[in-house]
Amino acid sequence: MRQFRHLTHIMIGLDLGRPETHWRQLGELYRITPHLLAALAIGLAALHPWLDGQTGAVSFSAGLIAFQIVMRIAGQAAFRRRSDQSLKKWTRIFAAISVASGACWGLSLAALYSGGNGDSQLIVLAVGCGIIQSSAARAFMSPAPMLINIALLMSTVSIAAALEGQWMMALICLVYFLFQLTYLARLSDLYLGEILAEYERETALQQLADANRKLKQANEQLARHALTDGLTGIANRRSFDAALNAAFASDTQAPLSLILLDIDHFKAFNDSHGHQVGDDCLRLVGSVIAEVLDGSDFHAARYGGEEFALILPGADAFEAARLAERLRRAIAAAELGDLADAAPSISASFGAATRTRADTSPADLVARADRALYRAKQKGRNRVAVDGDGDIATA
């Protein structure tokens, strides 16, 4: 019984799989070619009755088949020009056309069968069986309308046979219909199994793709966390080392500068105001640096403790000194009033160095920037010193 339940579906698997699959199915079902061949077969079957003088039956049959062909052509044209992309709507339209086709086929064949001689009736039955078999070949995609189509065709021919007193022929038609019913149930079951398998495969692939995407996002987030300072939100020492190595190796001809800065008297600030306020101060300096560097290709990082570092690819000594002075002024102007019991302001000392031919490694550049920073502290802090030059700017 489970197999036969599929025969009640307007279209198999309509609620499963991709819509493109069902649109292709509908395109096949709306195709006019099989109906033109069926009309040709019925026309050939009408030759014998017409030669026997059954012009009324032949005319009636011809009118029905002409109506059916016009209806099918109009249906196919409307389907191809459709602007409404509702699968259910076009499936229902097909079902209505299919049922109408079955009625037209059945009535036309019954008209040709009635009153004909044995040869004529045999030809009509052969054509009817051919049409039924052709319908069954596509009925597994849309079983319910096509079964109604077949039932209408066979029932009208069976009634015509019964009216002719050929009860055995009506019984044979019934048995043939039951055979088609079993055949279609099996085909529909197999086809639905294919659709379910494809749907499950696509679902599994989509779930795998979603899982991979989430895993990639998680890995990227972990990578960002691994390279980000948890307190200030800017890059950490590991990120700084990697960025400096990459910048140092990328283009040895282009200028490369480094700035180290240290918050002045931070230990005393921490002891006076507490570590929580000290952390707030570090966060504030980190945000000032990020704001000043926003939109640039420069790399800022927390170097350690209260010390920060900036890598400046493409910047010469003058540009490095100018940026350091800009940062020095921005930090000195930062508002600390919202930090509990905080001092009214803070300051920072800066050391800058630009790569020379004598620098054989990133460590050489860091050492020279560190010497400049030490000199800025020696000369009173809150100032910028450039390695090889004097102070560029002071408070």
225 C-beta neighbours (distance < 10 Å), count: 10
Q: Are strands 383-386 and 348-354 parallel, antiparallel or unpaired?
A: parallel
Query: SS in 3 state form for the chain?
Result: CHHHHHHHCCCCCCCCCCHHHHHHHHHHHHCCHHHHHHHHHHHHHCHHHHHCCCHHHHHHHHHHHHHHHHHHHHHHHHHHCCCCCCHHHHHHHHHHHHHHHHHHHHHHHHHHHCCCCHHHHHHHHHHHHHHHHHHHHHHCCCHHHHHHHHHHHHHHHHHHHHHCCCHHHHHHHHHHHHHHHHHHHHHHHHHHHHHHHHHHHHHHHHHHHHHHHHHHHHHHHHHHHHCECCCCCCECHHHHHHHHHHHHHHCCCCCEEEEEEEECCHHHHHHHHCHHHHHHHHHHHHHHHHHHHCCCCCEEEEEECCEEEEEEECCCHHHHHHHHHHHHHHHHCCCCCCCCCCCCCCCEEEEEEECCCCCCCHHHHHHHHHHHHHHHHHCCCCEEEECCCCEEEEC
Any idea which residues carry the catalytic annotation? 306
Contact 314, 334 (CB under 8 A): no
Going from the C-alpha of 372 to that of each of 122, 218, 264, 300, 369, the distances in angstroms are: 110, 41, 15, 18, 5
